[in-house]
Structure 1
Amino acid sequence: MQSTVADKIRSRKRVRRSIPAPAERRQIREDAKLTQAEVADAVGVTPQAVALWESGRRTPRGQLFDRYAEALTAMRESA
Structure 2
Amino acid sequence: MPATPAEKIRSRMGVRLELPQPDERRRLREAARLSQQDIADAIGVTRAAVGHWETGYRSPRGRLLANYVDVLRVLQGAA
Identity %: 49
TM-score computed with the length of structure 2 as normaliser: 0.84
Letter in 1 for 2:30: E
Query: What do residues 9-46 of structure 1 show as CA deviations (whole Å, max 9, x unaligned)?
Result: 22567743101000010000001110000000001100
TM-score (norm 1): 0.84
Could you tell me which residue of structure 1 aligns to residue 26 of structure 2? 26
- Structure 2: how far apart are the matches of 1:59 and 1:68? 10
* Aligned pairs, number: 77
SS of residue paired to 1:17: coil
Give the partner amino acid of 1:24.
E
CA 1:67 to 1:17, structure 2 compared with 1: closer, same or farther past 3 Å? same
Root-mean-square deviation (CA), in Å?
2.2
Match of 1:6 in 2: 6
Letter in 2 for 1:60: P
Unaligned 5+ residue runs, structure 1? none
- Contact 1:32 1:76 (C-alpha < 8 Å) held by counterparts: no
Q: Is contact 1:16-1:66 (8 Å) kept?
A: no
Structure 2 letter corresponding to 1:7: E
Question: 5+ residue gaps in structure 2?
Answer: none
